[in-house]
Amino acid sequence: MVIKIKPAAVRHAGTTGPRRRRARRGFTLVELAISLFVFGMMALLLGTVLPTLTRGQASSRGYAQAALLGQHKIDQIRQGGFSKLTGSQLAASGLIDTNPDATPVTAPNPAGLPVGTNSYSFTVVDDLVDNGTEPGYFPAGSTGVLSLSPALGGQGGRAPTAAQALQVTVTVSWGVTGARSVWATHTIIAAYS
């Protein structure tokens, strides 16, 4: 028995014929242009988003570092206690820079405790910026300031005096002029009787 195959069946079998062969050769020019356009748009989007993500990461790193440093400074001051909250005691303990700027803005009261707001730098002692031998935490121009002021408030309108409690504020600022970032925290340290 001999089976005869019609030429039309051979043409539509899928592996032969002019229409099937031409469809398998590759992409058309339109498909190629569309894929290049989509790829170009994705690259442009990535190119604009990536610098923003990098800046955001650097900013977050700065705030995290400032928070750790500020909390460490508060812990150091708490460890020293209320009686060591004078400029000379803080400098002797190595908590503030020992330079002419480390003198209180106002004179201490007879008990030896600061009156008013007194600000002290801790930029050098805590290696906030690169000092030539050790890398700093922040770029040049960054500052760390410790401020002491009488604690305000109290229950029933009775505010503690400077001889009873002081508010300690730690401020870290970094960045370039015009785009500076600032982180601050405070606590109240009281004298125990």
pTM above 0.85, yes or no: no
User: Where on the phi/psi map is residue 129: left (φ > 0), alpha (ψ -120 to 50), or beta?
Assistant: beta
At 45 the pLDDT is 92
pLDDT (tens digit, 9 = 90+) per residue, 106-142?
Answer: 333 333 434 345 888 888 787 777 666 666 777 777 8
Full strand arrangement of the beta sheet holding 165-174: 118-121, 143-150, 165-174, 181-190
Lowest model confidence (mean pLDDT) among 33-47, 48-62, 128-142, 166-180: 128-142
Measured between alpha carbons, how far is 85 from 68 in angstroms, rounded to an integer?
21
Write down the domain spans for the chain. Answer: 66-190
At 111 the pLDDT is 36
Residue indicated by tokens 């800046």: 55
Residue predicted with more confidence, 47 or 20 = 47
- Give the type of residue at 28: T
Identify the top-confidence range among 25-34, 57-66, 96-105, 140-149.
25-34
Please give the structure tokens belonging to residue 57: 């990461």
Cβ–Cβ under 8 Å, residues 114 and 87: yes
